[in-house]
Amino acid sequence: MPNPTEAPFGTWLSPITSELVASAAINLVDVLLDGGDVYWVEGRPQEAGRNVLVRQNDDGTQSDITALPFSARTRVHEYGGAAALVADGVSYFSDFKDQRLYRVDGSGSPVPLTPPPAPGDPHAALRYADGQIDSSRRLWIGVREDHRRPGKEAANTIVALNATSEGAGTVLIQGHDFFASPRLSPDGRRLAWLAWDHPQMPWVGTELWVAEFDGATLQNPTRIAGGPGESVFQPEWSPDGVLHFVSDRSGWWNIYRAEANGSAVNVCPKAAEFGRPQWNLGMSTYAFLSAKEAVCAYVEGGLGKLALLDLDSGRLTGIDLPYSDFSSVRAQGGKVAFKAGGPALASAIVLLDPRSGEAKAIRKSGTLADDPAINRHFAAPQPIEFPTPRGQTAFGLFYPPTNADHRAPDAELPPLLVRCHGGPTSSASIALDLRTQFWTSRGIAVVDVDYGGSTGYGRAYRERLHRMWGVVDVEDCAAAAQYLADREWVDASRIVISGSSAGGFTVLSCLSSGDPSVRGLFRAGGSHYGVSDPEALARDTHKFESRYLDWLIAPYTGPDGDRGPYLERSPVRNADRLTAPVAFFQGAEDKIVPPSQTESMVTALRQKGITAQYLLFAGEQHGFRQSSNIRWALDAEFYFFSTLVFRTHGAT
């Protein structure tokens, strides 16, 4: 093998092109098991982001259940999740275009189960998600979101509808702002569900309820757990009819068992997270193998693990796998399936024999990671823990520049891209992301920052962001960059910052910060559908997040109330502080962060004579799903930073 060619950081030639990143990757979600078959939903950028329900038969044959033009994606809570369900060989899914619920018998054509939208209704007024099938009564039981009241907030309920004929469904329970996770007991006589109300978010305060179910109505609803200050996640019934759930009442999301006397027992007390922030419906971190044993995924020290859990003793037996990120855990008939990824492994649908530990990836999000010509250039993440201005520590994943064919001059330090994850209640993933490798293989270091407020480190860490969004996240992202610069791991004069959605807000807040030690660190920024005006977000965003800013910033009382915290932390209102150029990437159909927010920021920068690149993508919502747009955004951001900061003209 020839010696690496010497070239400045940021100019290295890389085979990890934007075309490969955009065309090779599919998004895998919502693993399902039915008999001997495995199902999942995959988002395909090559098909304009269409979401396809896929089945693998017991013999290994794979086939699409939802053919063109159908797309299995729901808009409940806008972020969706749990758009598909399979029971006894019959598939049910919500179609993205009309949000109707459809039934597919075997390999037949989809048949609608719910009414069509009214003529001219652009919002698909009735939306369905997170369902279960009551086989004995032939019912679909799930969450419905009703947008049929013009000028009023959507109404969320749990409904039951006939699983074989068309109808809007009968409301079983209402009266809360949000519902999730309806789960029917094995004998069909009890229904459990989650509920929460404004201004709570599901990772702040949720309630677990149980009621008797006779097939038509719910009787004697009783709150089992939860409330303000306690987040409950994923209620499930064990095969012998015992209700389990995840709660963070101890400060960590642990698995609990509901007792007959109304108490609850922590099955496995541990400073680890067995739960996740419920941005999407249908999330699952554990599943029952029997009444005595479960398979579970958890995060400890920022690293994902999979284990067998003895439900009586609480003993965890780790399963040694090459993955470090687990989700959508399912079990049925002794078979375990889940989604998993690792630092050098593409996300995949994995089948596991829990007894032998043998695991097989049956569908991968991409195959580039298996190509030695590609993976020889992968950068391995290095966990870092760094001090913050508030006397605490925060976390991140540092990816050094890596390219087997190139090396930099001895005296040179690499540029740094600081990445801010979205949410902001979320976390950086340690799973392979080819977009990260796109940068590092060109000689640019990357750090993914798990600023205070991120998940995976317990409730107290999440609560660092309470009323502090635009402060703690900004301080921690700057602290991560300064930490790396002080250790001479990166060039302090060539640091840029990029983020999506809430991460875009952090980017813009860093660049418009009143603290010159923060603002002065970053030479340029990239905002992907980022929030630039939190006040506009408080007024205009969808129901699910309409009161989120009460927790993140302060209760919003309108333009005549106390707007102080919103004005102080508004990047668009502090645009006079901006001195660094910014690239903006925006979906034209984004309902969460409308284009008007981004355009206000672009106008403010251009009026100051500061470079502002603005790319508006037709047909995209909150997050880009079309391969051509993914490619264009990646190339455009690289060129923007290279031209203005990295000085890598002509790099490919």
Confidence label for 242 from pLDDT (cuts 50, 70 and 90): very high
pLDDT at 153 over 50: yes
Contact assessment for residue 348 and residue 28, using Cβ atoms and an 8 Å cutoff? yes
| pLDDT, tens digit, 9 for 90 and up, residues 361-379 | 999 998 888 899 999 999 9
Percent of the chain with pLDDT over 90: 79
Which CATH number, 3.40.630.30, 3.40.50.1820, 3.30.750.80, 3.30.70.1340, labels domain 385-646?
3.40.50.1820
Contact assessment for residue 493 and residue 501, using Cβ atoms and an 8 Å cutoff? no
Closest CA to 644 of 529, 498, 524: 524
| pLDDT, tens digit, 9 for 90 and up, residues 554-579 | 998 877 667 889 999 999 888 889 88
What average pLDDT does the segment 1-26 reach? 87
The conformation of residue 543, written as its DSSP 8-state character, comes to G
Closest CA to 519 of 497, 486, 502, 548: 497
Closest CA to 334 of 358, 352, 319, 322: 352
Hey, what are 121's tokens? 């209704």
pLDDT at 651 over 50: no
| pLDDT, tens digit, 9 for 90 and up, residues 187-208 | 999 999 999 999 999 999 999 9
3-state secondary structure of 286: strand
Confidence label for 649 from pLDDT (cuts 50, 70 and 90): very low
Q: Please tell me the chain's helix, strand, coil percentages from 3-state DSSP, rounded to the nearest 5.
A: 20, 35, 45
For the domain bounded by 18-370, which CATH number is listed?
2.130.10.120
Task: Indicate where the chain has its CATH 2.130.10.120 domain(s).
Answer: 18-370
Provide the pLDDT for residue 275.
98
3-state secondary structure of 161: strand
How far is 258 from 266, CA to CA, in rounded Å? Answer: 9
What average pLDDT does the segment 322-329 reach? 96
Q: Mean pLDDT check: name the lowest of 75-89, 512-526, 544-558, 592-606.
A: 592-606
CA 208 to each of CA 221, 387, 402, 406, 554: distance values in angstroms, whole numbers, following the listed order: 10, 38, 47, 55, 27
Hey, what are 471's tokens? 């402060």
User: Would you say the C-alpha torsion 498, 503, 508, 509 has a positive or negative sign?
Assistant: negative
Name 203's Cβ contacts closer than 8 Å, sequence gap at least 6: 231, 277, 278, 425, 455, 462
Provide the pLDDT for residue 123.
65
Other CB atoms within 10 A of residue 367 CB: 11
User: Would you say the C-alpha torsion 356, 362, 364, 370 has a positive or negative sign?
Assistant: positive
pLDDT at 652 over 60: no
Burial class from Cβ neighbours inside 10 Å (0-12, 13-18, 19+) for residue 122 reads exposed
The enclosing H or E element of 375 equals: helix 372-375
Q: Are strands 445-450 and 416-420 parallel, antiparallel or unpaired?
A: parallel
Provide the pLDDT for residue 1.
57
Task: Indicate where the chain has its CATH 3.40.50.1820 domain(s).
Answer: 385-646
Q: Tell me phi and psi for residue 556, to 5 degrees.
A: -95, 120
Burial class from Cβ neighbours inside 10 Å (0-12, 13-18, 19+) for residue 381 reads buried
Contact assessment for residue 195 and residue 215, using Cβ atoms and an 8 Å cutoff? no
Q: Tell me phi and psi for residue 8, to 5 degrees.
A: -60, 150
Provide the pLDDT for residue 628.
85
Report the first-to-last Cα separation within the chain, whole angstroms: 22
Provide the pLDDT for residue 24.
62
Number of H helices, E strands in the chain: 12, 38
Provide the pLDDT for residue 601.
87
3-state secondary structure of 308: strand
| pLDDT, tens digit, 9 for 90 and up, residues 607-634 | 889 999 999 998 888 888 788 888 999 9
**Better-predicted residue by pLDDT, 538 or 129:** 129
Q: Tell me phi and psi for residue 436, to 5 degrees.
A: -65, -45
The distance from CA 604 to its chain's CA centroid, rounded to whole angstroms, is: 31
Hey, what are 457's tokens? 């480190």
**Better-predicted residue by pLDDT, 562 or 470:** 470
How far is 299 from 145, CA to CA, in rounded Å? Answer: 32
Provide the pLDDT for residue 561.
67
| pLDDT, tens digit, 9 for 90 and up, residues 513-553 | 999 889 899 999 999 999 988 988 888 888 999 999 999 99
Provide the pLDDT for residue 597.
83
Confidence label for 122 from pLDDT (cuts 50, 70 and 90): low
Contact assessment for residue 597 and residue 537, using Cβ atoms and an 8 Å cutoff? yes
The enclosing H or E element of 382 equals: strand 382-387
What average pLDDT does the segment 180-187 reach? 98
| pLDDT, tens digit, 9 for 90 and up, residues 159-176 | 999 999 999 999 999 999
How far is 406 from 417, CA to CA, in rounded Å? Answer: 19
Burial class from Cβ neighbours inside 10 Å (0-12, 13-18, 19+) for residue 197 reads middle
348, β-bridge pairs: 340, 364
CA 603 to each of CA 499, 597, 599: distance values in angstroms, whole numbers, following the listed order: 20, 10, 6
pLDDT at 591 over 90: no
